[in-house]
Amino acid sequence: MIAELLARNAAERPDQAAIFFPEGRGRHARLTFRELDEESTRLSRALAAHGVTAGMRTVLMVPPGAPFFTLVWALFKARAVLVLVDPGLGLRSIARSLREAEPEAFVGIPKAHLARLAFGWGRETLKRRIVVGRFPGAVSLDSLTGSADPRPASDDTAAILFTSGSTGPPKGVVYSHANFQAQVEMIRATYGIEPGEIDLPTFAPFALFDAALGMTTVLPEMDFRRPADVDPATILRTARRFGVTNMFGSPALVDRVGRHGGGPIPTLRRVLSAGAPVPLRTLERFVKLLPAGVQVFTPYGATEALPVASIGSDELLSETRALTERGAGVCVGRPVERMDVRILAITDRPIERMTDDVLAPPGAWGEITVSGPSVTQLYVNREESTRAAKVEGWHRMGDVGRFDDKGRLWYGGRKSHRVVTAAGTLFTDPSENVFNAHPLVKRTALVEVASRPVLCVELDDRSANRETVRRELLEIGAAVPETSGIETILFHHRFPVDIRHNAKIFRENLAVWAAKELS
């Protein structure tokens, strides 16, 4: 069980800080590993006494801080099934997600309970309502007493985590305790993380790995729903004050902090950035904040399977960059240990068996499909989605990829975003990165309008002459065979992106906008 890792770290380093959490005005309070372990054990027994039993699906809507982390570990220890939904997904998506999850318990702050009542979340299934604070009709967490020992669960389900919804409605991914334990060990081995390190996670759920890895979590003062709008000075000041050795951030946050600049953070050993491909210029800027020899690593994976592959900024900037800017796609590195990766021939139909005849030819683009101990096996109450994505223990990532002759995996974008024209099929990321090399371009997005490829462009400098940039982009595209057929360019003031990472582009929305612009 994943909670055993916390107990082990509490025994080995009881007085080490497990979490520093902000209290405002630059001040942080702390919770040691012993305190986190003891308080989560007390809460798990109190929850069990209150009827939050093993296997019970329990929604947790509490902002990052001490109560959030103690409750997560308490629910793991109680063998309840943790249900996490991003509050920024929007009311409609939250309602759909909770309807599919069928929760029996709801633990949240008063604002979350108010929304639960107003929008009917879990109305048909909830049996237990617990509030962090005070709210009519809910039992206060502070008032919970009792000491029932949680009984073993009938299954090994640990949590239901929802996808970001960047290519359709969010789906509930069913995690087992074994999935979580495998993730912890694979992350530790891939990046050489050691107990006693200090982590600055700017994506709160990633901090859950810290206590299992024996790392101290330092929560920064920020709105975790808007990483692209973070105050970079606060992030840098916090990193230096606590001597962080590890940092995790979305590409949008890494970009914002890198643009701010400043001297290196001397204690950093590594930076991890995931959620979407990290632009090469973003990496180029951010590495200036790192001590000599330290890299930004860009692990590839998804909610359903993480980590799958990894690569560092040294290789990306010195070797694969030129290939990326010539249309090769984005290199995401070699598969991590214990993860098997195959490339399926592209099809939108379910596949019943993983046989050689469904694989793409060596070196060809196809759908990335993975197998390993961290790979999840089903979606909650989504039989059709499960059937489409799962094949005999393998998970179809929904991403286009290929292997090169060095065994490196290259990413080509989402399979559903491919643009099929009379001249052939274009994949988003190989095409877009040709144009992203223009110095005035922040990012681009390839979409299809009436079987025609259309390139949407967001400029880094909005005062730039659009007609000049358009002409230069057309010249750049014409020099690469794969992009020579892209002749329509539209400028958009700011791309719509996902709530979780502020980095995944909602190409479906851009396609609708582009169709209107061209009509």
116 to each of 67, 131, 141, 159, how far by Cα in Å? 19, 12, 17, 20
The pLDDT of residue 88 is 73
d(CA 127, CA 160): 18
DSSP state of 223: -
d(CA 441, CA 438): 6
Report, in angstroms and rounded to the nearest whole number, the Rg of the chain calculated over CA atoms: 23
Of 43, 120, 121, 132, which is closest to residue 80 (Cα–Cα)? 43
d(CA 106, CA 135): 12
Q: Considering Cα of 202, then 208, then 209, then 211, what sign does the dihedral take?
A: positive
The pLDDT of residue 412 is 98
The pLDDT of residue 115 is 95
Q: What is the pLDDT of residues 176-231, one digit of tens each?
A: 999 999 999 999 999 999 999 999 999 888 888 999 999 999 999 999 989 999 99
Tokens describing residue 35: 């305190």
Q: Which residues contact 190 (CB under 8 A, 6 or more apart)?
A: 299, 307, 310, 336, 337
Going along the chain from its start, the domains and CATH numbers come out as 3-175 (3.40.50.12780), 328-414 (2.30.38.10), 418-518 (3.30.300.30)
Q: Is the pTM of this model over 0.75?
A: yes
Low-confidence ranges of the chain (pLDDT < 70): 150-155
